[in-house]
A and B are shown apart, each in its own frame.
Chain A
Amino acid sequence: MMEWVNVIIQGVLIGGLYAMFAAGLALIFGVMRLVNIAHGDLIVVAAYLALIVTGAVGVNPLAAILIVAPVMAAIGYVLQRALLNWTLGDDLLPPLLVTFGLSVIIQNGLLELFTADSRRLAAGAIEVASFPVAEGIWIGVLPFIQLVAAIAVIGGLQVLFYSRPLGRAFRATADDPSVAQLMGLDNRHVFALAMAVSLAVIAVAGVLIAIRTNFDPAIGPARLIFGFEAVIIGGLGSLWGTLAGGIILGVSQAIGAHIDPGWQQLAGHLAFLAILAVRPQGLFPRIQG
């Protein structure tokens, strides 16, 4: 019994990470109807950036977020202005194929720069620290930080979206790009800012992954898929839904892994397919337009 409670708690904690992947994906889809296939690879870029920053500056990996997030945001802004803005339009193909090409470029670029070796960020004692919450149930400090970070990031996005001028610009552009432009918004700039926010969010996730697990240039696509599954499970367009989606995905994976280690990812995918079959609109679909 205690064993299963533990499994579910671990799943909930890892779910926070998936929610951050998903929030970044949902944000740009919401604002500009773009699905960034290179999303997962950009998470890996953040992880490598954290590796460089901690190596060069010698700061604690968690503090590296303060450097990596702004750098990723800048990359996002430039990427959107210089490349992705040109792909937007009625046709689905250009954004899909360009971000797919980007994904392949990033993976192979990282492979050239860092080889295929697995890396990991050393964060010291925090990696293994844990605290008891009940008889026989311990929570790791790092996974706990992950979930708290996810809640903070999604809460922050919620505030940004619904009570800040930038969020209003995001929502206005999402609702009707041409009217938003007439009202004096520069859509290209708004889209670029949305991509910057999205990449800042996944920078947090990327650094946390780098501390918690081994990473190499090829793990990006799987992160994209986890984020995507969490978005669909949670319901398109709902920020808190992505948190729920991430947690459901994390718990399914934890239960699968507990039954048989080979079933970890499979169980997550099957949970996603089951929800798609039963409730294609997701668990928490957006209510208002």
Chain B
Amino acid sequence: MSGMTAPFKVEHATRSSRIGSAALAITVIVLAVLPAFAGRDDLRLCSEIFVYIALASLWNLLAGYAGLVSVGQQAYVGLGGYILFACAILAGIHPLAAVALAGLVSAAVAVPVAGLMFRLRGHYFAIGTWVIAEVFRLMAAQVSALGGGSGISLPAQIVITMAPSRQLREFEMYWLALALAVAVCGAIVLLLRSRYGLALTAIRDNELAARSNGVDVRRLKLAIYIATAFATGIIGALIFLQKLRISPDTAFSVNDWTAYVIFITVIGGIGRVEGPIIGTLVFFLLRQSLADLGSLYLLMLGAVAIAIMLLAPKGIWGVLAGRFGWQLLPLARRLRFSADGRTNPSA
């Protein structure tokens, strides 16, 4: 495709994606220097937003592109958190090294889990992943060295090893969360621009057609499942490094790590990279104004997600992109012929 003799090249960027990418780059730079201006509460809120952008982007990759609708990603959030605490408390590993280790262990665990879960089709795969998360939760409750069912806090002497002062530690956590969100989104964009991205988009649009065009669907799905487990494990470790306390119920919470994430992705736009980012912003805007409603808030969120799924299944970003042709990220594929400059637009 990229050889010297090719009569055409593939262009990813459009005018709106150039504007969008520039705006995103500026946003990231501003966010990176934010600790210099913003207060503690704002930084915490931003970290939480970054975490949800990353989680939702990963779930979108899994369900929106690879067709693997999991309602059990809390398995890897919790696993990552518990690996972090186990490494730091039981093995004396530095917390930041333990974060990386949490990702590797999650990926390793995902291999046999996928072997079992891929035997279940479609809908049943979804509930199967939930069983896995439950198994992890019940097992975590059996580990008495990590507090059993009631959980455990990260001892102060381990917390201090991360940074000399509380403020520096909070900055560190903020930057880690930002870096993680940028890395996850960046990796997904790069993946989608590669030939695997073309295959994934094909699976998203029609799995049977993708298979008949030579896409090794099963292998690609397996790779995506493991890669998402890796990143989700890292995010989980980061979440609980920030909370400094873990328990089976918070670590493997289906509401916190899956229900919210699904609603965010559906509302923002499933099967589009921009969707989870838009969805997360909408989610936090709603939460900041409706948080007092408690369980009614979740109830309304569920109703909004159902309405969007039925009336505008491509979500907010899908509607905007469809109407105005907007694209935040350079993900289009457009053939530009070198001979006469003709263009042949294609998705």
A binding-site residues for B, Cβ under 8 Å:
29, 33-35, 37, 83, 86-87, 92-98, 100-102, 104-105, 108-109, 111-112, 221-222, 224-225, 228-229, 232, 262-263, 265-266, 269-270, 272-273, 276-277, 280
Contact = CB atoms under 8 A, between A and B. Distances in A.
B209 to A, nearest CB: 12
Nearest to B118: A280
* Interface class of chain A by DSSP: helix
Contacts of A280: 119-120
A227 to B, nearest CB: 9
Interface string B287-307: 000000001101101110110
A253 B196 CA distance: 43
Contact of B296 (A93, A108, A221): A108
Interface of B: 63, 67, 69, 71, 116, 119-120, 122-124, 126-128, 130-131, 134-135, 138-139, 141-142, 149, 254-255, 259, 262-263, 266, 270, 295-296, 298-299, 301-303, 305-306, 309-310, 313
A96 B69 contact: yes
A114 B128 CA distance: 30
Given A108-B299, A262-B142, A266-B138, A100 B116 contact: no
Given A93-B63, A232-B128, 7 more contacts: A37-B126, A101-B305, A104-B301, A228-B127, A229-B131, A266-B135, A276-B120
A108 B299 CA distance: 6
A108 B295 contact: yes
A225 B134 contact: yes
Contacts of B310: 83, 86-87, 94, 98
A108 B259 CA distance: 12
Nearest to A228: B127
Contact of A101 (B128, B138, B302): B302
B124 A228 contact: yes
Given A101-B263, A105-B302, A94 B313 contact: yes
Contacts of B262: 97, 100
Contacts of A262: 138, 141-142, 149
B314 to A, nearest CB: 11
A97 B305 CA distance: 8
11 contacts: A83-B306, A92-B122, A95-B123, A100-B71, A101-B306, A104-B299, A112-B295, A112-B299, A225-B127, A228-B128, A262-B138
B131 A225 contact: yes
B119 A276 contact: yes
A92 B259 CA distance: 17
A103 B266 CA distance: 16
A143 B306 CA distance: 38
A226 to B, nearest CB: 10
Contact of B303 (A92, A105, A270, A273): A105
B131 A266 contact: no
A67 to B, nearest CB: 26
Contacts of B254: 221
Contacts of A109: 299
A111 B122 contact: no
A102 B142 contact: no
A168 B170 CA distance: 65
Contacts of B127: 35, 37, 224-225, 228
A97 B298 CA distance: 15
Contacts of A224: 127
B116 A101 contact: no
A200 to B, nearest CB: 22
A92 B123 contact: yes
B131 A272 contact: yes
A263 B8 CA distance: 62
Nearest to B271: A93
Contacts of A112: 295-296, 299
A276 B125 CA distance: 12
Contact of B266 (A97, A225, A229): A97
A104 B302 contact: yes
Nearest to B141: A262
Contact of A266 (B126, B139, B263): B139
A109 B303 CA distance: 11
Contacts of B298: 104, 108
A25 to B, nearest CB: 9
A29 B74 CA distance: 26
Nearest to B63: A93
A97 B266 CA distance: 8
Contacts of B135: 266, 269-270, 273
Nearest to B206: A90
Nearest to A277: B116
Nearest to A90: B206
A102 B298 CA distance: 11
Contacts of A232: 120, 124, 128
A224 B71 CA distance: 13
Contacts of B116: 273, 276-277
A37 B262 CA distance: 14
Given A37-B71, A92-B69, A108-B299, A101 B126 contact: no
A193 B267 CA distance: 31
A102 B134 contact: no
A96 B123 CA distance: 7
A221 B120 contact: no
A265 B135 CA distance: 8
Nearest to B296: A112
Contacts of B131: 225, 228-229, 269, 272-273
Contacts of B301: 104
A86 B262 CA distance: 20
A76 B126 CA distance: 22
